[in-house]
């Protein structure tokens, strides 16, 4: 163990709530041109993350389902912080299953949770992934990819926004 990390754990870059609040408040003082540039940069970074998740889905257990989920990624073009989403009712499999998270309180027929985290109860999914942190599991292709590319995403985001602030703060 080094620096308080458990064996195999990676250091993560974490903004505290005050820093995030300052970042989002800074958008209010930006011109329309700077906001458009921020939206473009954030959309590009979300697209980068979506592409990496698509690549990871190919080698995930239940690869056919994982690929369908990853191929259906939606990137928000209007977000200033870069948003992507997965799992939609419109993505249907034969038999009526969707790529949604399990909707409703009964568990529903969404396959995203089972494809990403596995299951102890349903044989059609890979085994449940190990625990990650206080709550949750490691995942197979979405969350591990996001954790892996987090330092690169943050570095690219900071570089892009430094450039935007310099360009538009004149």
Question: pLDDT of the chain along its 170 residues, tens only?
Answer: 233 333 344 445 566 777 777 777 778 888 888 889 989 999 999 999 999 999 999 999 999 999 999 999 999 998 888 899 998 888 888 888 888 887 655 556 789 999 999 999 889 899 999 999 888 899 999 999 999 999 999 899 889 888 887 887 65
Cβ contact 67:57 at 8 Å? yes
Q: Write out the two tokens for 137.
A: 């599991």
* Residues 27, 35: Cα–Cα separation, whole Å: 7
Distances (CA, A) of 33 to 29, 37, 167: 12, 6, 10
- pTM, two decimals, is 0.82
Cβ contact 41:30 at 8 Å? no
Q: Following DSSP, what letter does each residue of 97-127 receive, concatenated?
A: -BSSS--STT-TTB-HHHHHH--SS-TTSPP
Cβ contact 69:87 at 8 Å? yes
């Amino acid at each position: 163990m080094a620096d308080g990390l458990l064996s195999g754990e990676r250091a993560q870059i974490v903004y505290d709530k005050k820093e995030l609040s300052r970042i989002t408040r800074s958008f209010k003082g930006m011109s329309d041109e700077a906001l458009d540039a921020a939206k473009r940069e954030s959309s590009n970074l979300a697209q980068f993350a979506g592409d990496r998740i698509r690549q990871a889905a190919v080698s995930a257990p239940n690869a056919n389902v994982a690929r369908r989920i990853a191929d259906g990624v939606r990137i928000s073009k209007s977000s200033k912080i870069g948003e992507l989403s997965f799992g939609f009712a419109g993505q249907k499999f034969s038999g009526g299953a969707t790529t949604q998270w399990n909707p409703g309180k009964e568990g529903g027929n969404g396959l995203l949770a089972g494809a990403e985290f596995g299951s102890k109860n349903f044989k059609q999914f890979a085994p449940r992934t190990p625990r990650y942190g206080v709550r949750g599991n490691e995942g197979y292709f979405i969350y591990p990819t996001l954790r892996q590319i987090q330092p690169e995403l943050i570095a690219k985001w900071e570089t892009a926004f430094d450039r935007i602030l310099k360009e538009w703060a004149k």
